[in-house]
Amino acid sequence: MSDWLLFDPMFRIPFLTGLVLTLALSLTGALLRMREEWLAALGLSQIAAVGAIAACPLGLPALTGAFGAAGLATALRTLLPRVDNSHHALLILVGWSGTLIVGSYIDHGATIGESLLRGQLYFTRGAHLAGAATLLALLLSLFPWLSPRLLTARFFPDHHQANRVPTWPYRTVFALLAMAATVLGTVSIGAFPTFAMLFAPSWAGFVLANGWRRSLVVSCAIGLVAYTAAFALAMIVDLPFGPVLVAMLAMVGGLRFLPGISSIIATTKWSQSRE
């Protein structure tokens, strides 16, 4: 591929789909990190990949299979009294092994499994874009309701229970949004790129910004920069998009370790403490 392909109408829908998903995944990732559930993203994306590949021999769309498997995993997580990263690690193991084992039983299974793990953004269509746009619209419209409830539950774990405020509505809504983001990400940009997009922007953003809202904006900006750069680089240098995106996100996430950034953080701390 060459640089002129960047402007080819054929790649507009894939580019826009990835762009919209980047915002949705960066925002969802920030909430998952705040809840210390970021490893759940990798577990769910791996499980979604199993569902997508298992749907093939059943004659079902990959998206349906991905939603079915991720929905089942989400329901099981919700039923457990306490969920930690050990449970999420178990999901990763089941998802990774399941994708490869199920893939070995179906025609072209290895190819499909590989494409689900590393992404197939260039093959996304209008339905993917519509799904991603709907997800982002839901996430943005529900965010003002969802965010304070999740924050309160994180810092004052029994505040809602003590005040007889039901916790299931916001817990369920967040679980469904996280699942939908992970599934749409997995079938569009791949399981690992989806995890990277959920993980890296907020990992850097939470250190580079002071304040909840600012950290969300910075996380989304980091995701957008990494995505746009990865899309252009993959086209220009003719590299597979998924691995380039993951590498780009890893690099952007690693910015937090640079001495220059550390000094900015130190300055920010100093000025904050003087306010």
Partner 1 sequence: MSYTLLEIASMIAGYARPVVGPISLGLRAGEILGLGGPNGAGKSTILRAITGRAHVFSGRIVRSDGLTISHQWQRPELPPELALLGRELFSLTGARPGDAPAMMKPLLTMPLRHMSGGQYQLLHTFACMCSPCRLVLMDEPTNNLDGRALDALSALLKKLDPGRAVLLVSHEKAFLEKHCTRIVEVGS
Q: Which residues bind partner 1 (CB under 8 A)?
A: 34, 36, 148, 151-152, 154-159, 161-163, 205-207, 209-212, 214-215, 269, 272-273, 275
* Closer residue to partner 1, CB minimum distance, 57 or 148: 148
* Closer residue to partner 1, CB minimum distance, 104 or 271: 271
| Residue 52 near residue 186, CB atoms below 8 Å | yes
| Residue 272 near residue 220, CB atoms below 8 Å | no
Residue 148 tokens, joined:
């304070």
* Closer residue to partner 1, CB minimum distance, 11 or 212: 212
Q: CA neighbours within 13 Å on the CB side: how many for 156?
A: 8
The amino acid that residue 86 corresponds to is S
b/e for 72-96, b at 16 or more Cβ within 10 A?
Answer: ebbeebeeeeeeeeebbeebbebbb
* Closer residue to partner 1, CB minimum distance, 108 or 269: 269
CA-based nearest residue to 200, from 221, 223, 179: 223
| Residue 56 near residue 116, CB atoms below 8 Å | no
* Closer residue to partner 1, CB minimum distance, 111 or 272: 272
What is the Cα–Cα distance from 207 to 139, expressed in whole angstroms? 23
Smallest distance from the beta carbon of 182 to partner 1, in angstroms?
22
Smallest distance from the beta carbon of 221 to partner 1, in angstroms?
14
Smallest distance from the beta carbon of 48 to partner 1, in angstroms?
27
| Residue 178 near residue 41, CB atoms below 8 Å | yes
Smallest distance from the beta carbon of 123 to partner 1, in angstroms?
36
Smallest distance from the beta carbon of 215 to partner 1, in angstroms?
3
Smallest distance from the beta carbon of 46 to partner 1, in angstroms?
25
* Closer residue to partner 1, CB minimum distance, 4 or 274: 274
What is the Cα–Cα distance from 131 to 183, expressed in whole angstroms? 10
